[in-house]
Amino acid sequence: MEPPKLKGYEYDSNIVGNYIQAGRILILYLAYNSQCNLSCPFCFSNGGKHFVRKSMKQTRNVKELRFDDLIEIIDQGIELGIKSVCFYGEGEPLLKSDLGLFFKLVDYVNKKNLIPVVFTNGVTMTPTIAKKLYNKNVSVVGKLYSFKPKVNEFLTGCHGIYEYKLFKGKRVPSHIPNLMNVGYNKGNRFALFTVVTKYNYEEIENIWKWERSTGIIPYVDFLYTYRHQRRFGISESDRQRLCKSIYDYDKSLGFDYEYHLGSHIGHRICNTRIAAVIGVNGEVRLCPAVDVYIGNVRKNQLADLLIKRANLAEKIRFKGDDKGKCGAYRLEERRSQVSQK
């Protein structure tokens, strides 16, 4: 049987194949703020600052997209076939100052019969907000780096920012039980995001097994960018051992999928080919984690930018090599090696 897939973020392979062949997109990644209340030391966006700085260099424009701009982008996405809108983390989408805008956008997404998805660190996730997300059909990707509060907080770059609660035998950040207790324990609408580092490597299998046992979808990724590899990365042999061990565990549960060594552990594969990534200033990027810019939606139609993106993706061969490195990662790797010389 297939493993659980997060509603609105993962799609069946036949749908994905049809969309790729037709040059259409399933998911619109949309950022609307560049502030974060965490300082994860390996963050691909440096708490939102990295891509804003790069975008400013590209366009000389620091102006963030407004509500009307965001609605226009969603409408253009609908014409290109999108089924969901993912509010992702250049910053933290659920900062208290942005909740009004977020829920206005969610209401519009629901009105258009699309599925809203949010990536959040969960710091502001009260039971009230959790219930509101559930009632508005939002799929949620939370965050868990470690079962050890000291390690979890070290990897978030912030001490004392989370409240911890005992849930299903583990002390975890409170957003996890807050979401599970309002209904996210069913319906494939809740995943937890974990980045593999040398500081939590020994815990990854236990985190994966605990999430499987509680009905949470595990999203475990390796470092996205080469520039963080030296300080936080694990060895290639450890990477391969972890991928194989988790694959074998899933297989023992009856889950059937193709084994791979990609940036994501388990059944997940990169969905960049069926997604469009829009930054806070309107810049379209090749993928969420890499500063390869295509153009700006303020100046060009999204459809035209996606044609350019497809040509560029083919040029750098946006596929994994035998060590699981995609073309975007290899591009980052080459840049870092050149800058160090």
> CA–CA distance from 209 to each of 198, 253, 275 (Å)?
19, 10, 29
**Is 128 buried (19+), middle (13-18) or exposed (0-12) by CB count in 10 A?**
exposed
What are the structural domains of the chain? 13-340 (3.20.20.70)
b/e burial code for range 190-227 (CB count within 10 A of at least 16 → b): bbbbbbbbebbbebbeebbebbbebebbbbbbbbbbbb
How many whole angstroms separate alpha carbon 84 and alpha carbon 81? 9
**Is 44 buried (19+), middle (13-18) or exposed (0-12) by CB count in 10 A?**
buried
> CA–CA distance from 241 to each of 222, 253, 281, 309, 339 (Å)?
13, 19, 40, 34, 31
DSSP state of 67: H
Over its length of 341 residues, how does the chain's per-residue pLDDT go in tens digits? 999 999 999 999 899 989 988 889 999 999 988 888 998 988 865 555 555 555 555 555 557 889 999 999 999 999 999 999 999 877 899 999 889 999 999 999 999 999 999 999 999 999 999 999 999 999 999 999 999 999 999 999 999 999 999 999 999 999 999 999 999 999 999 999 999 999 999 999 999 999 999 999 999 999 877 777 889 999 989 999 999 999 999 999 999 999 988 889 999 987 778 899 998 889 898 887 777 788 999 999 999 998 888 877 776 655 555 555 665 566 666 655 555 55
Query: What are the CB-based long-range contacts (under 8 Å, 24+) for 266-271?
Result: 266/3, 266/208, 266/218, 266/220, 267/2, 267/3, 268/10, 268/219, 270/318, 270/320, 270/326, 271/9, 271/10, 271/16, 271/26, 271/27
pLDDT at 20: 85
CA dihedral 282, 33, 276, 316 (to 10 degrees): 80
User: Rounded to two decimals, what is the model's pTM?
Assistant: 0.91
Residue with tokens 């073309």: 327
How many whole angstroms separate alpha carbon 214 and alpha carbon 179? 12
pLDDT at 43: 82
How far from chain centre, in Å, is Cα 186? 21
pLDDT at 311: 79
How many of the other CB atoms lie within 10 Å of CB of 332?
A: 23
For the chain, where are the alpha helices, taking DSSP H only? 13-22, 49-59, 67-79, 99-111, 127-135, 149-156, 175-179, 204-214, 229-232, 236-252, 302-315, 327-340
pLDDT at 53: 53
DSSP state of 264: B
C-alpha angle with apex 289: 285 to 294, nearest 5 degrees?
10
How many whole angstroms separate alpha carbon 101 and alpha carbon 197? 34
Dihedral sign of CA atoms 309, 311, 315, 318 in order: positive
The residue length of the chain stands at 341
